[in-house]
Chains A and B, each alone.
Chain A
Amino acid sequence: MATAARTIQVEIKRQSSPDQPATTEKFEIPYRPNMNITSLLGEIALNPVEVTGKPTTPITYDSNCLEEICGSCAMLINGKARMACSALVDKLEQPIRLAPLSKFPVVRDLAVDRSVLFENLKAVKAWVPIDGSYDLGSGPRQQPQIQEQRYPLSNCISCTICMEVCPQFNDSTSFVGAATIAQVKLFNMDPAGSVLKEERLRALAGDGGVQECGMAQNCVAACPKQLPLIEAISDVSRDVVIQQVKDFFSL
């Protein structure tokens, strides 16, 4: 078969531990149709040998659902932040260059520590407080108009691509990022979650808060789940201003 000779060239930026220097390893994988990046990395793990014939270790990377739902396999694919599961090899230019997300500390190879997003979600109380020592009964009714606005925001998979592509998300601003702001809108619009609305808005007025957004709009362009992130930032910004003015005059 003529296709049997076809191969897939891959260049992977690797790093054996958080403090080790990064190196690039090249691989050549026998072609199979309809592969994605996670299956490609699995193929390397089956036979972890560099193109030079030198044996190496399997690539470390995060992945779980393989269908763009869990949000764990975000990485730089040919330089751009994407989900590895939905990046199809047949549609990528070769050699395929894989690298870890650039704005998060590398754990090993393509796996990065994205816990800053979890810290941010905790800082804005991105939850509905329903725990009690007794049965709180059924939740308040949610109108379909509210549901329609909330549903797209609930699709966030915490992949951190919106933060990776953002020019304002960096060490000097420590911007909170679009994902957290969108979750503030989601939970503020929840009839039960809105009890924490003021606290969330006050949190987002802190250093690194919603004001650091520079409206480059990369987040909304890169988001694999097409969340209306700019709309969320715009709405939440207004709510934060109103909350700040209210707080100022209620002193």
Chain B
Amino acid sequence: MATTAPPANTIRKGVQPLRAGQGNSFLWRRLHSLSGIVPIGAFLIEHIISNFEILNGPLAYAKQVQFLNSLPLVRVLEWAFIFIPLAFHALYGVFIAFRGRSTVNVYPWAGNYMYVMQRVTGIIALLYIGQHVWRQRFSGVSLPEHPGAAFAKVQHELSNPWMLAIYVIAMIATTWHFAYGIWLFAAKWGITPGDKARKRFGYICAAFGTALCIMGLASIVSIVMAPPAPDDVMPEKPAVTAQASPSTEFRHPENYGSRQ
């Protein structure tokens, strides 16, 4: 049985060899990696910091929402730096996740679990963000037009214990996904090639992710524990009609809240 010669150029079974220099998957995969940090990760940080204003009460939160919506070209920013990159990251991420073949059942090692968790948390984040964007941004009271209604809208949403549980789980999953994503970014782009560098940066990412998660959870706890907020803490229309009455003409924004 002298069949030592390799099989001739027939159709190869099993995993195919590298298609050297062909295709665009390198570009898409790197864009996916980059988009997770900038702009999506940057937006996540901004979002959690903005939501942290909840701890300062409905008016402070309303002002933060108003400030963000007063940014120049805000709708362009929103689509170019949030919705489109997020949709790409999510859809390409699902594509990546379903092409992997998890081996944790055989090799129950830390990195292997992290690999699976990155995909699981990504899917959780996608499902959560889908309903979150729909319910909070595109349906109900329009917050860009009525920033004062932000606190009440979120508070009402979280009054449902199921929704509260979804928010808590999603907060943990999303910040985990981001923190490990930063670590992956550094490792995959060759910023932290060495074992020590990767380990140390892992601690930094873990601390950062934990901090973000605690900030987010604190905001959730704060809005759930807060007394029911008025529907709109800075209504525009009463202010317009109030021009007829001289006594309320120069009302300071700080006083808006006390009117209710």
Hey, which bits of chain A sit against chain B, CB under 8 A? Answer: 18, 79-80, 103-105, 113, 115-116, 118-120, 123-124, 163, 165-176, 180, 202-218, 221-222, 228, 230-231, 234-241, 244
Residues in chain A near residue B96, CB distance under 8 A? 214
A201 to chain B: closest residue by CB: B21
B22 touches A206 (CB 8 A): yes
Q: Once the chains are docked, how many angstroms separate the CA of A204 from the CA of B20?
A: 6
Please, how many residues of chain B have a CB less than 8 angstroms from a CB on the other chain?
Answer: 45
Most interface-central of B6, B7, B112 (chain A CB within 10 A): B112
B119 to chain A: closest residue by CB: A214
Residues in chain B near residue A169, CB distance under 8 A? 15
Q: Once the chains are docked, how many angstroms separate the CA of A180 from the CA of B102?
A: 21
CB under 8 Å from chain A, chain B span 39-95: none
Residues in chain A near residue B184, CB distance under 8 A? 215
Residues in chain B near residue A118, CB distance under 8 A? 6
Is B194 interfacial (CB-CB < 8 Å)?
yes
A167 touches B115 (CB 8 A): yes
A217 touches B22 (CB 8 A): no
B111 touches A215 (CB 8 A): yes
A167 touches B100 (CB 8 A): yes
Residues in chain B near residue A167, CB distance under 8 A? 100-103, 112, 115
Is B228 interfacial (CB-CB < 8 Å)?
no
Return 8 A-B CB contacts under 8 Å, by A number.
A115-B7, A116-B15, A165-B107, A170-B100, A221-B111, A231-B193, A238-B193, A241-B190
Q: Once the chains are docked, how many angstroms separate the CA of A234 from the CA of B110?
A: 18
Is B252 interfacial (CB-CB < 8 Å)?
no
A240 to chain B: closest residue by CB: B26
Query: Min CB distance, B178 to chain A, in Å?
Result: 15
B18 touches A120 (CB 8 A): yes
- Beyond A173-B100, A241-B30, 19 additional contacts (C-beta under 8 Å) are A79-B106, A80-B106, A115-B12, A163-B15, A165-B107, A167-B101, A167-B102, A173-B99, A174-B19, A175-B15, A203-B18, A207-B25, A211-B29, A212-B29, A213-B188, A214-B115, A231-B193, A231-B194, A238-B189
Query: Min CB distance, B206 to chain A, in Å?
Result: 15
Residues in chain A near residue B198, CB distance under 8 A? 230, 234
Residues in chain A near residue B190, CB distance under 8 A? 234-239, 241
Classify the interface of chain B: helix, strand, loop or mixed.
loop
Known contacts: A170-B101, A174-B18, A237-B190. The answer to whether A207 contacts B23 by CB under 8 A is yes
Q: Once the chains are docked, how many angstroms separate the CA of A163 from the CA of B101?
A: 12
Residues in chain A near residue B191, CB distance under 8 A? 238
Partner pick for B14 among A116, A206, A207, CB 8 A cutoff: A116
A176 to chain B: closest residue by CB: B18
Partner pick for A217 among B14, B16, B18, B112, CB 8 A cutoff: B112
Q: Once the chains are docked, how many angstroms separate the CA of A203 from the CA of B19?
A: 8
Is B195 interfacial (CB-CB < 8 Å)?
yes
**Interface pairs A-B: 4 shortest CB-CB:** A238-B190, A217-B111, A207-B23, A203-B20
A105 touches B14 (CB 8 A): yes
A166 to chain B: closest residue by CB: B103
Residues in chain B near residue A221, CB distance under 8 A? 107, 109, 111
Q: Once the chains are docked, how many angstroms separate the CA of A214 from the CA of B107?
A: 15
Residues in chain A near residue B111, CB distance under 8 A? 215-218, 221
B18 touches A216 (CB 8 A): no
Q: Once the chains are docked, how many angstroms separate the CA of A203 from the CA of B22?
A: 8
Residues in chain A near residue B21, CB distance under 8 A? 202-203, 205-206
Q: Once the chains are docked, how many angstroms separate the CA of A207 from the CA of B188?
A: 16
Residues in chain B near residue A210, CB distance under 8 A? 26
Query: Min CB distance, A211 to chain B, in Å?
Result: 4
Is B204 interfacial (CB-CB < 8 Å)?
no
Residues in chain A near residue B189, CB distance under 8 A? 237-238, 241
Known contacts: A167-B112, A231-B193. The answer to whether A218 contacts B103 by CB under 8 A is yes
Most interface-central of B20, B110, B187, B189 (chain A CB within 10 A): B20
Q: Once the chains are docked, how many angstroms separate the CA of A163 from the CA of B7?
A: 21
Is B237 interfacial (CB-CB < 8 Å)?
no
Known contacts: A105-B13, A215-B184, A218-B107. The answer to whether A168 contacts B100 by CB under 8 A is yes
Query: Min CB distance, B90 to chain A, in Å?
Result: 17
